A and B are shown apart, each in its own frame.
Chain A
Amino acid sequence: MNLLDLLFFFFSSLAAGGGLLMVVSKHPVPAALFMILSLVGVASLFVLLEAFFLAILQILVYAGAVMVLFLFIIMLLDVGPDGGKASKIRILSGFAGAVAVGLIIVLLLHFSQQSGFGLSSNAWPEINADSFVNGSNLTFSTSVKNFGYGLFTKYMLPLQVAGFLLLAAMVGVIILSKKFRIKKP
């Protein structure tokens, strides 16, 4: 067991444990902080997978922007902890959720063992630092250059659509949170 394996187990337990604590914590503020922990764990896993740009993006977008927005809204609304009464429907929904999650994980693991997803026996192929574009295949690379090249050639239309989606979301948020004064005739 070398250092990378140890790092994988450390960061994956960080991601999964943070997520689990987020789901079970009663008060929303610790839940948001555990969520940040989980997101940082996922970003470190991206670093282990040598997707450095995505790791930076994960930290900036999720831990930086999204979770700050969450904390801001939690503090703005002053949300208290969940009510303690364990009604029948809550127990039932908890049971149903646990069964569904168990089924999802067991079936996924079974499928992954059976088919192997067609991954090659060489688990982590070497990244060729010089490889740029191979036909229409964009080869995996640690550099941001390949990322940008892929975004602006093969994925040009989705990129524009994503930009338009952000614009639409911005307009929607402004309309939702603006107070419209009803004009009296």
Chain B
Amino acid sequence: MELVTPHHFLALGALLFGIGFFGVVVRRNLLLVLMSLELMLNGVNVALVSFSRAGLNLDGSLFVFFIMTVAAAEVALGLALLVALYKRRQSVFSEDMSLLRN
């Protein structure tokens, strides 16, 4: 692999992070906001694994393992919160979550 350098992987990680960030800012459906958060974490994972491979150091890969654990816990809790919110508000859109507005 000569043409593709670690910088390509880093650029892809930045791109995935950026797309995820865009989703978090723009989307109003909270399910899609959670999915975009997953995409951001995936961008970080790509960057960490490429650093780990290019530096021949396992620490980055091990950190990706922990990120996956935290992401799974986060998704489970976020979806449970979302279901609890839906029971109260009958909606998953962020503009309907206006209890603290005034």
User: How far is A109 from B23 in the complex, measured between Cα atoms in Å?
Assistant: 21
Q: Does B97 contact A (CB under 8 A)?
A: no
Select from chain A the residue with minimum beta-carbon distance to B79.
Answer: A73
- 8 A-B pairs, CB-CB below 8 angstroms? A23-B26, A62-B68, A73-B79, A82-B29, A119-B54, A124-B1, A147-B65, A177-B80
What residues of B have a CB within 8 angstroms of the CB of A123 in the complex? 1-2, 5-6, 54
Add 13 more A-B contacts to A97-B22, A140-B52 (CB < 8 A): A15-B12, A22-B32, A35-B38, A45-B46, A49-B53, A69-B79, A74-B31, A79-B92, A105-B14, A125-B56, A127-B56, A140-B58, A162-B69
Per CB-CB distance, the 5 closest pairs between chain A and chain B, nearest first, are A97-B25, A169-B73, A138-B58, A23-B23, A101-B18
User: How far is A9 from B74 in the complex, measured between Cα atoms in Å?
Assistant: 31
Known: A38-B39, A58-B68, A177-B84. A109 touches B14 (CB 8 A): yes
Contact of A65 among B55, B72, B93 (CB under 8 A): B72
Interfacial residues, chain A to chain B (CB-CB below 8 A): 1-2, 4-5, 8, 12, 15-16, 19-20, 22-23, 28, 31-32, 35, 38-39, 42, 45-46, 48-51, 53-54, 57-58, 61-62, 65-66, 69-70, 73-74, 76-77, 79, 82-83, 90, 93-94, 96-98, 100-102, 104-105, 108-109, 112-113, 116-117, 119-120, 123-125, 127, 137-141, 146-147, 150-151, 154-155, 158, 162, 165-166, 168-170, 172-173, 176-177
What residues of B have a CB within 8 angstroms of the CB of A58 in the complex? 45, 68
**A35 to B61, Cβ gap below 8 A?**
no
Count residues on chain B whose CB falls below 8 Å from chain A CBs.
72
**B58 to A35, Cβ gap below 8 A?**
no
Q: Separation in Å of the A180 CB from the closest CB of chain B?
A: 12
**B42 to A42, Cβ gap below 8 A?**
yes
**A16 to B16, Cβ gap below 8 A?**
yes
Known: A23-B26, A101-B19. A140 touches B38 (CB 8 A): no
